[in-house]
Amino acid sequence: MGYERQADFGTPEVRSETAVTCSIDGREVTVPAGTTVMRAAALTGGSIPKLCATDNLKQFGSCRLCLVEIDGMRGTPASCTTPVADGMKVHTQTPKLQKLRKGVMELYISDHPLDCLTCSANNDCELQDQAAAVGLRDVRYGYEGENHLGAAPDVSNPYFDFDPSKCIACSRCVRACDEVQGTLALTIEGRGFESKVSAGLASDSFLSSECVSCGACVSACPTATLQEKAVKEIGKPERSVITTCAYCGVGCTFRAEMRGEQVVRMVPWKDGKANRGHSCVKGRFAWGYAQHQERVLSPMIRESIDQPWREVSWEEALSYTAREINRIRDTYGRNALGGIVSSRCTNEEGFLVQKLIRAGFGTNNVDTCARVCHSPTGYGLKTTFGTSAGTQDFDSVEDSDVMLVIGANPTDGHPVFASRMKRRLRKGAKLIVIDPRRTDLVRSPHIEADFHLPLRPGTNVAILTALAHVIVTEGLADEAFIRERCDWDEYQHWAEFVSAERNSPEFLSPVIGVDAEAIRGAARLFATGGNGAIYYGLGVTEHSQGSSTVMAIANLAMVTGNIGRRGVGVNPLRGQNNVQGACDMGSFPHELSGYRHVSDAATRALFEAEWGVPIDPEPGLRIPNMLDAATDGEFKAIYIQGEDILQSDPDTKHVMAGLAAMECVIVHDLFLNETANYAHVFLPGSTFLEKNGTFTNAERRIQPVRKVMEPLNGYEDWQVTQELARAVGLDWNYTHPSEIMDEIARLTPTFAGVNYARLDAEGSLQWPVNAAAPDGSPIMHVDGFVRGKGKFVVTDYVPTDERTGPRFPLLLTTGRILSQYNVGAQTRRTANVIWHEEDLLEIHPTDAENRGLKSGDWVKLASRSGETTLRATVTDRVAPGVVYTTFHHPATQANVVTTDYSDWATNCPEYKVTAVQITPSNGPTEWQEDYDAQALRSRRIAGHEGAMEPAE
């Protein structure tokens, strides 16, 4: 589509079962009761002048431009605050109104620069539009009086500027920060003529304030006061394309606003059903990595990792790779080969990678990065409910009365959904947070958790069982729901187990480290507080009992009857943009798309008929098993698309040893990442801006990804995989990802009704989309569980084998920060580094004092696996005995210290519990220095000596 501003109906949509009909300038319109005159007028195609109103903010009634006349009513009411009534006759354009509006506009313009032609918002400015709409021709007051025209701009934020000389004090930015984002960083300081927008204290700039750079204020601003630096530099966009963000599992949709092949800005799409017009700093602003100078655009090969890389043609790279794959298969057998599907790439790309491994390499040795994040979700929810997915859509939170957030930090990891949660919490929903760390959600403006249970890392199952103990023994179980929807015998077996004294809060309190009465209070609140919704993240899954914890969560939802309707449910917050999709696409070694086990002959027959090759009926190796088999000399080649296992996977030294033992490591990525230090083939990848496809977000929503520019490397990632498949002898001839989706739909019952035409027409679809649910499934398990009866599973607390002791007395847990994403490959190549230049170690004041540490000191972080150094920050966010860090920077290599303990059911690594010791340090360890030297050597490119080498 060409460039035009997104439609704005002035005031928010109102939901009502009652309809009212009124007449606006003679045009009759029927709207839900409670709708404003302004919105009703916009719905008829009219446009009442406005400045302070916009339809994602509550009406404010301050600009006095939207006045109307209504038959039978005195005066000229503001249309933004006047609801329509049956039979109302409204006049929006009369001589009286024109005079009033012109007078108002005259006052605004008397204190506004008249530099429209050179203004960056020229022809894209609401103030300019409204001045035209009211017919302003002159300003009688002159421009010599007191004004704000000389106010200095604040250019501190890396992505947008604040120019107060252009501010009309409409408060849209302040209200957007309050209502949309929920940070409340902005305010109007002073009164009357002195009123001005301020980011916190007068001494604060936007950068030093609490502003989280979500961009809501920038989108809300009707002038050039708050504007993207990129618009100032490049100019107004000339076209826009709707696409889906490639960062977290929320799956925000954006309008990529373009000038030629250059992105001018990414603006959250108001019709996006996942984000409802909101965004975070990553999706809104941090897309510059796509053009980063360190992107590798030429294929490269080398026989040995000691050699420098050699740039070659695509043809040579692919034929070399195919020869190596065939050689290794002939020498060691097909099970010496394998691959990893990326949770960052599209569904279609993931499907092709697993198809290449199964049908081309002839093995089920395929896995995905979900192995190290949400594989326990797959196991746990499939076991209890019958399918591996969250039960709700994001809108569901609007009907939640109690939110239980466990092992998730949504304000940092899933910020756009966190804003939705905060909006509901500010309206009165209750909040229980179970987390070792005091996350921002625990206490933020107008929000305070009713219970924060700061458990010891590794005791999730204990605390969930204790909660269940209270619910069952105090008679709070929803027996009617359980009898109707669940297996009653299994429930009784489980209820007997949780009721045992050894599962009471009082008995388990010393283990959990939380007061028993607080556990009882939280249990009572969750069971009796109305609609209860559980949200969880990697703090649940990345444990030795990750799968048990997921099942304990499912038990808790079933015992309280919180499944199958809006406002309730079990909601895994997915880490990466397409974790859900990668899992759906059959990326796990034991199952084909749609979560069907490879041992199922009927399913295999379906694929064998479509693909024309036999499928191995036995499960393949998981990522950690592949690395183990490699160090044992049995696994020799791997194709890794879009994942950096050397930085993201646990026990770095073990990963290095596994990669080093392979004869052909093929990395398909944007940058020479850490894993590429051990690679023999590098295939350049494409960004989400350069490809067509779909991502599936945490609410099972399949959304289009659209190409807005040609791939700098020459090919979309699905094309690269197709060429590799052809090189190894497969006759693939896809011409567009829509054909891959058609194949997915043919082979996957839950995707049966999905195709590109429908996605284009409807914007998104939530699986299952099939004959039973032709329009998709916003809420799952409505009339019954996918597996039939819900299954209660006994989850006995088994302490991790990773124990603290005299040598390693502290527990390390890891997480992420708002401005960075995963291993930082993308966000570290943007201006986001200004907020997080390095990983820091959070340590409690008591533990810091015992070690003579203060904030900013270098510390050595040591575990049984290894040691690294980083700087400390002393904070009571973490409890005594617990330390915390992020893993966004390769210089830190936090995974050097994590162990190879893993979830019992899925081998998801136990990132969240490592026994460590912290001691003062002078700087990097010898290991870190050796690692850096090896990384530098391995990134040499023949012919580029002396040039700036691409580096992580």
Partner 1 sequence: MSGQMAEKLAYMVNQIARNLVHDAAPVASVADHIVAFWTPRMIDTLLAEGTSALDPVAAEAMERVKAARAAHAG
Member of 35, 219, 545, 886 binding partner 1 (CB under 8 A): 545
What are the b/e assignments for 493-507, b being 16+ CB within 10 Å?
ebbebbeeeebbbee
Interface with partner 1 by CB under 8 A: which range of 163-171, 627-635, 671-679, 695-703?
627-635
How far apart, in Å, are the Cα atoms of 256 and each of 122, 156, 544, 690, 707? Answer: 20, 24, 42, 12, 10
Note if the bond before 768 is cis, omega within 30 degrees. yes
Integer-rounded Cα Rg, in Å, for the chain is 29
# residues contacting partner 1 (CB under 8 A): 28
Among 515, 796, 849, 929, binds partner 1 (CB under 8 A): 796
Looking at beta carbons only, is 257 or 903 nearer to partner 1?
903
Query: What's the closest the beta carbon of residue 856 comes to partner 1, in angstroms?
Result: 41
3-class DSSP string for 643-706: CCHHHHCCCHHHHHHHHHCCCEEEEEECCCCCHHHHCCEEEECCCHHHCCEEEECCCCEEEEEC
629 lines the binding site for partner 1 (CB under 8 A):
yes
Angle 717-727/347-355 helices, nearest 10 degrees?
Answer: 10
Of 570, 592, 594, the residue nearest 580 (C-alpha): 594
Instruction: Choose between 252 and 556: whose C-beta lies nearer to partner 1.
Output: 556
Tokens of 339: 């691959």
Does position 621 bind partner 1 by CB under 8 A?
yes
State the nearest-atom distance from the C-beta of 590 to partner 1, in Å: 6
On whether the CB atoms of residues 98 and 134 are closer than 8 A, the answer is yes
Rank residues 115 and 796 by Cβ distance to partner 1 and give the closer one: 796
CA 588 to chain CA centroid, nearest Å? 22
**Residue 833 CB neighbours (<10 A):** 18
Shortest Å distance, C-beta 583 to partner 1 = 15
Q: Work out the number of other CB atoms within 10 angstroms of the CB of residue 950.
A: 21
Element spanning 559, H or E: helix 546-559
**CB of 661 vs partner 1, minimal distance in Å:** 12
When the beta carbons of 437 and 654 are compared against partner 1, the nearer one is 654
619 near partner 1 (CB under 8 A) = yes
Q: Which residues contact 162 (CB under 8 A, 6 or more apart)?
A: 153, 154, 155, 197, 199, 206, 225, 226
CB of 299 to partner 1, least distance (A): 32
| Residue 837, token pair as written in the block | 């230049």
Read off the tokens for 780. Answer: 């799952």
Quick check: 362 binds partner 1 (CB under 8 A)? no
Q: How far is the CB of 548 from partner 1 (least distance, A)?
A: 6
What's the closest the beta carbon of residue 619 comes to partner 1, in angstroms? 6
- Alpha-carbon dihedral of residues 384, 387, 393, 396, nearest 10 degrees? -20
Nearer to partner 1, 568 or 793 (CB): 793
Nearest distance, CB of residue 794 and partner 1, angstroms: 4
Shortest separation between residue 798's beta carbon and partner 1, angstroms: 5
Q: Which stretch binds partner 1 (CB under 8 A): 35-43, 744-752, 791-799, 862-870?
A: 791-799
Phi/psi for 850 (5° steps) reads: -60, -25
Instruction: Rule CB under 8 A: choose which of 106, 271, 634, 932 binds partner 1.
Output: 634
Q: How many CA atoms does the CB half-sphere of 447 hold within 13 Å?
A: 30
Q: Are the C-beta atoms of residues 794 and 497 closer than 8 Å to each other?
A: yes
Piece in contact with partner 1 (CB under 8 A), picked from 108-116, 259-267, 436-444, 901-909: 901-909
Q: Which is nearer to partner 1, 269 or 379 (CB)?
A: 379
When binding is defined by CB under 8 A, the residue of 279, 384, 459, 548 that contacts partner 1 is 548
Residue closer to partner 1 by CB (options 175, 622) is 622
- Both structure tokens of 455: 């458990």
For partner 1, the binding residue among 89, 426, 590, 864 (CB under 8 A) is: 590
CB of 649 to partner 1, least distance (A): 16
**Least separation in angstroms between CB 766 and partner 1:** 28
3-state secondary structure string, 447-509? EECCEEECCCCCCHHHHHHHHHHHHHHCCCCCHHHHHHHECHHHHHHHHHHHHCHHHCHHHHH
Tell me if 310 contacts partner 1 by CB under 8 A: no
Among 10, 277, 513, 620, binds partner 1 (CB under 8 A): 620
Q: Which residues contact 728 (CB under 8 A, 6 or more apart)?
A: 322, 325, 326, 356, 360, 361
In the complex, the smallest distance separating the C-beta of residue 617 from partner 1, rounded to whole angstroms, is 10
* Candidate residues 211, 218, 570, 905; the one interacting with partner 1 per rule CB under 8 A: 905
- Choosing from 208, 599, 850, 919, the residue that interacts with partner 1 (CB under 8 A) is 599
Question: Which CB atom, from 542 or from 699, has the smaller least distance to partner 1?
Answer: 542
Q: Does the footprint of partner 1 cover residue 377 (CB under 8 A)?
A: no
Looking at the Cβ atoms of 548 and 578, the one nearer to partner 1 is: 548
600 part of the interface to partner 1, by CB under 8 A: no
Beta carbon nearer to partner 1, 155 or 794: 794
Please give the full DSSP string across 257-303, using - where no structure is assigned.
EEETTEEEEEEE-TT-TTTTT---HHHHH--GGGG-TT---S-EE-S
Q: C-beta of 497: minimal distance to partner 1 in Å?
A: 6
CB of 459 to partner 1, least distance (A): 15
Which segments of 36-172 are extended strands (E)? Answer: 69-70, 89-91, 160-162
C-beta of 175: minimal distance to partner 1 in Å?
50
Chosen residue from 732, 904, 935, 949 binding partner 1 by CB under 8 A: 904
- Site residues for partner 1, 691-730, by CB under 8 A, read none
- Residues 323, 446, 597, 803: which binds partner 1 (CB under 8 A)? 597
∠ Cα 422 433 856 (to 5°):
90
Contacting range for partner 1; rule: CB under 8 A; set: 283-291, 562-570, 792-800, 831-839: 792-800
Rounded Cα gap, residues 376 and 389, in angstroms: 11
Distance from the first to the final alpha carbon of the chain: 37
Q: Of the listed pieces 146-154, 399-407, 477-485, 542-550, which binds partner 1 according to CB under 8 A?
A: 542-550
Question: How far apart are alpha carbons 411 and 440 in whole angstroms?
Answer: 7
Rounded CA gap, 723 and 731, in Å? Answer: 10
Residue of the chain from 794, 831, 834, 935 that contacts partner 1 (CB under 8 A): 794
Torsion angle (degrees, nearest 10) of CA 496, 498, 501, 502 = 130
Of 512-520, 615-623, 804-812, 815-823, which part binds partner 1 (CB under 8 A)? 615-623
Stretch that binds partner 1, among 134-142, 280-288, 571-579, 794-802 (CB under 8 A): 794-802
| Binding pattern for the stretch 478-517 against partner 1, x by CB under 8 A and - elsewhere | ---------------x---x--------------------
Instruction: Give the separation between CA 811 and CA 803, rounded to whole angstroms.
Output: 9
Q: Tell which one of 625, 677, 696, 928 touches partner 1 (CB under 8 A).
A: 625
- State which residue, 461 or 640, has the beta carbon closest to partner 1: 461
The secondary structure element, H or E, covering residue 253 is strand 253-259
- To partner 1, the closest distance from the beta carbon of 703 in angstroms equals 31
Could you give the angle at the alpha carbon of 349 between the alpha carbons of 347 and 350, nearest 5°? 65
Please state the closest distance from residue 620 (CB atom) to partner 1, in A: 6
Tokens of 178: 């309050």
| Residue 366 beta carbon to partner 1: minimum distance, rounded to whole angstroms | 12
| Binding-site ranges for partner 1 (CB under 8 A) | 335, 493, 497, 544-545, 547-548, 589-590, 597, 599, 618-622, 625, 628-629, 632, 634, 794, 796, 798, 904-907
